[in-house]
Chains A and B, each alone.
Chain A
Amino acid sequence: MYQMNNILIIVLLMALVTYIPRLLPLVFVKADKLPEKFKLFLSYIPFAVLGALIIPDGLTGIPDSLWISVTVLAVAALVSWYKNNVILAFVLSVAAAWGLQSLF
């Protein structure tokens, strides 16, 4: 189907268009030279990113099962609310995901 050098060229072009947007802000945005308003804006980005990563794609994190995905996310949220421990939340939620999928 595809020749090896085709794949290589595609991978290199993909790498280029992926890497440049990752690199430029780190080169040009300097922590100590930012206006306060812009810093504030940047400080909201991680929370917005987390929200946009979870909704809506996390709701179908288990393919074809909205309710299992939502249940698993709820388990993760509950565990994290009471215990601020990422590993614990991860283990319990993944176990729940596996258990529910095996049962249903």
Chain B
Amino acid sequence: MLKLNKISKADNKVIPNIIMGLKDAFPIMLGYFSVAMAFGLLVKSADLYLKDAVLFSTVVFAGASQFMVLNMLINGISVLSIVTATFLVNFRHFIMSASLSSRLHKPHKWQIPFIAFGVTDETFSVVMAREGSLSPIYVMAVSFFSYISWGSGTIAGFLLGTVIPEALGDSLGMGLYVLFMSLLVPEIKKAPKILWVALTAGVLNSVLRYVPLIGSSWSLVLGVLLSALLFTFIFPKGVDVSNE
């Protein structure tokens, strides 16, 4: 995928960036469609309506929190708790937006709200695997196609129910972790120190979630921040040669 990055980083041509975005979004689309189907199905089994499912997926657009909230709704948890938990679970996007912002190539004012809306674990990871500065159009395209897939998967899941065999659905959902792995490994091959950055964050995330008051949403945020901070001092020369 990365090898085909022939479009110059400063190039803001619309069509090539959209095509590149579609291509890069493709694995996300497959994974999102099946995970969103599971979500649509769950909404239905919670006796809610199709429009509720669509509202969640198109207005919030944040997978993990949608599943969590659905569970909370079923258990009759208060609105305040639901909103607080959502904030905590999705706060990691704050860090991703900051990192993304430092790589964006001269975004227009009107593009910022759209780029912000589209920041997810998957879209962020995919666009940041590109080298150099990023065309806002490209970033928006990756998010747009992922968003469409998330929305349509939700509707399909609600309407079709269990048409996709569970094993295939799980496998496609697993595909999102496969995607993360296939973005990470080539970077490690280029610069082995990246392994330590990723591993440290992963281990911290695994350990910190068992610390009282931290839990799994803060553990991810803390793991990422602490690892990045630590390696800013351990490897002060950086790893990404293309990132001027």
Interface of A with B (CB < 8 Å)? 1-2, 4, 6-15, 17-19, 21-27, 29-31, 34, 37, 39-58, 61-63, 69, 72-73, 76-77, 79-81, 84-87, 89-90, 93-95, 97-98, 101-102
Q: Is A61 touching B198 in the complex (CB atoms < 8 A)?
A: no
Q: A31-B103, A50-B180, A72-B178 are in contact. List 13 more A-B contacts (CB 8 A).
A: A7-B52, A13-B86, A18-B62, A29-B102, A41-B228, A49-B124, A50-B184, A53-B180, A54-B181, A80-B184, A84-B3, A85-B182, A89-B181
Q: Which of B89-139 contact A (CB under 8 A)?
A: 90-105, 107, 112-113, 115-117, 119, 121, 124-125, 128-129, 133
Contact flags B7-44 to A (C-beta < 8 A → 1, else 0): 00000000000000000101100100000000000000
- Known contacts: A45-B98, A48-B228, A84-B3. The answer to whether A18 contacts B86 by CB under 8 A is yes
A-B contact pairs, 20 of them (CB 8 A): A1-B73, A13-B82, A15-B59, A18-B60, A22-B117, A22-B119, A27-B116, A40-B232, A44-B231, A46-B124, A48-B224, A51-B184, A51-B200, A52-B223, A53-B177, A73-B177, A80-B185, A90-B179, A90-B182, A94-B174
Verify if B83 is at the interface (C-beta below 8 Å from A): yes
| Contact for B223 among A37, A44, A48, CB less than 8 A | A48
Verify if B206 is at the interface (C-beta below 8 Å from A): yes
Q: Is A53 touching B125 in the complex (CB atoms < 8 A)?
A: yes
Majority secondary structure of chain A interface residues (helix, strand, loop or mixed): helix
Contact flags B166-198 to A (C-beta < 8 A → 1, else 0): 011011111111111111111101000010011
- Known contacts: A11-B60, A48-B227. The answer to whether A27 contacts B112 by CB under 8 A is yes
Q: Is B116 touching A22 in the complex (CB atoms < 8 A)?
A: yes
Complex contacts, A13 vs chain B, CB 8 Å: 79, 82-83, 86
Complex contacts, A23 vs chain B, CB 8 Å: 97, 112-113, 116-117
Total contacting residues, chain B, CB less than 8 A:
102
Give CA–CA (A63, B112) in the complex, Å: 37
Give CA–CA (A101, B113) in the complex, Å: 41
Give CA–CA (A15, B124) in the complex, Å: 18
| Contact for A21 among B90, B178, B183, B200, CB less than 8 A | B90
| Contact for B171 among A52, A55, A101, CB less than 8 A | A101
* Chain B residue with Cβ nearest A102: B167
Distance in angstroms from A33 CB to nearest chain B CB is: 10
Interface of B with A (CB < 8 Å)? 1-3, 24, 26-27, 30, 46-49, 51-52, 55-56, 59-62, 65, 69, 73, 79, 82-83, 86-87, 90-105, 107, 112-113, 115-117, 119, 121, 124-125, 128-129, 133, 167-168, 170-187, 189, 194, 197-206, 220, 223-225, 227-229, 231-232, 236, 238-240, 243
Give CA–CA (A94, B128) in the complex, Å: 23
- Known contacts: A14-B60, A76-B181, A81-B185. The answer to whether A52 contacts B224 by CB under 8 A is yes
Q: Is A19 touching B116 in the complex (CB atoms < 8 A)?
A: yes
